[in-house]
Amino acid sequence: MKVFVIGIGLIGGSFALDLKSVLKKVEVFGIDRSEDHLDKALELGLIDHKANFEDLDKADLVYLAIPVDSSLEVLPKVLDQVNDNCVVTDAGSTKEHLCRGIADHPKRRNFLAGHPISGTEFSGPTAAIHGLFRNKTNIICEVEKTAFKLQERALEIFQAIGMRIRYMDPVSHDRHIAYVSHLSHISSFMLGKTVLEKEKNERDIFDLAGSGFESTVRLAKSSPAMWTPIFSLNKKNVMETLDEYISNLKHFRKLMEEDNFEEVFSEMERTNHIREVLNGINQNDEFKIVENGK
């Protein structure tokens, strides 16, 4: 199998590593706008060959792992190049604009829209790790618009590297992901900003920051080049989540201002339910398939 990975960073590089671990006969070709990334990917064994877009007619599978705004431009060009038996899939965090943008493409049947709920705060080929996708969910959108034999090929690979599959329409995906992913990144970035602005002595931050601060602000290390386009393309949903989040912060502040710490306790106690929600997800229920986004 000839697999072309476009964007050899954390996600693309990790996907390549996992493919090599589960497929005996696979050649991985890398395409990236950074020559340094390609050189490093070759050195690390993430890819077997450098490639360019003119080579895509040889591909059996193309994995698009680039910023979402770039995908809007690149995906149609990829579909123009691939052969009829190639499946193209992606890892983008927003889906509505992308799916709408290629809705009328002659090779729409070759594309399977995906979003693996997986990652770290690091970027680039050196951030790639084996097993990044194991027991993680891959959200698939508009599966019915992909040729059956091609979707089967992609889904078999996703399951082989340990992913669960969930089906969702693009609009629902973007709305839900704004709450459980995009908002948490904004919160982390703004917490980091607040501390940097108010704690001018960086040594104080280093010495006094505990594990709670470190875990909460971890996402603030993420790449602005990746996240700015996400916030832009999902602006409507992100703005809605911010309004609700700000409302909750103002409510919490008002309770403190009124010395109503009994209700502060109750608010936090009710929110402890999130622990049960997250612990209740059966990580051993591999390859569970869930219909729609409800």
**What pLDDT shows up at residue 82?**
98
The confidence score (pLDDT) of residue 202 equals 67
Q: Which of 169, 175, 182, 188 is nearest to 231 (CA)?
A: 182
pTM of the model: 0.84
Binning pLDDT at 50, 70 and 90, where does residue 190 land?
Answer: very high
Lateral strand order in the sheet of 289-290: 49-50, 27-31, 2-6, 61-64, 87-90, 111-116, 137-141, 164-167, 289-290
Check if 2-169 and 173-279 are the same fold. no
Facing residues of 19 across strands? none
Which region among 94-103, 188-197, 241-250, 257-266 has the lowest average model confidence (pLDDT)?
Answer: 188-197
pLDDT surpasses 80 at 294: no
Q: Supply the pLDDT for residue 209.
A: 61
- Binning pLDDT at 50, 70 and 90, where does residue 86 land? very high
Domain at 2-169, CATH from 3.40.220.10, 3.30.230.10, 3.40.50.300, 3.40.50.720:
3.40.50.720
CATH superfamily placement of domain 173-279: 6-phosphogluconate dehydrogenase C-terminal like domain (1.10.3660.10)
Task: Tell me the pLDDT band of 285, cut-offs 50, 70 and 90.
Answer: very low
Residue 283 pLDDT level (bands cut at 50, 70, 90): very low
Q: Determine the pLDDT at residue 207.
A: 61
What pLDDT band is residue 197 in, cutting at 50, 70 and 90? confident
The mean predicted confidence, pLDDT, of the chain is 90
231: which residues sit within 8 A by CB, 6+ positions away? 182, 186, 238
Statement: residue 100 has pLDDT above 80: yes
Unique residue bearing structure tokens 């996907």: 15
Q: Residue 34 above 80 pLDDT?
A: yes
Is the Cβ–Cβ distance between 164 and 137 less than 8 Å?
A: yes
Residue 49 pairs in a beta bridge with 29
**pLDDT at residue 78 is higher than 60:** yes
What is the pLDDT, as a whole number, of residue 284? 42
Confidence of residue 80 (pLDDT cuts 50, 70, 90): very high
* Rounded mean pLDDT, 266-294: 64
Residue 277 identity: V
As a whole number, mean pLDDT of residues 216-221 equals 84
Structure-block tokens of residue 137: 């969910």
Q: How far is Cα 58 from Cα 16, in angstroms, rounded to an integer?
A: 17
Tell me which range, 183-187, 270-274, 275-279, is most confidently predicted by mean pLDDT: 183-187
Name the residue among 97, 117, 105, 90 with its Cα closest to residue 145: 105
For the stretch 221-247, pLDDT in tens is: 888 999 999 999 999 999 999 999 999
Q: Where are the domains of the chain?
A: 2-169, 173-279
Residue 79: the pLDDT is 98
**Residue range 118-144, pLDDT digits in tens:** 988 888 999 999 999 999 999 999 999
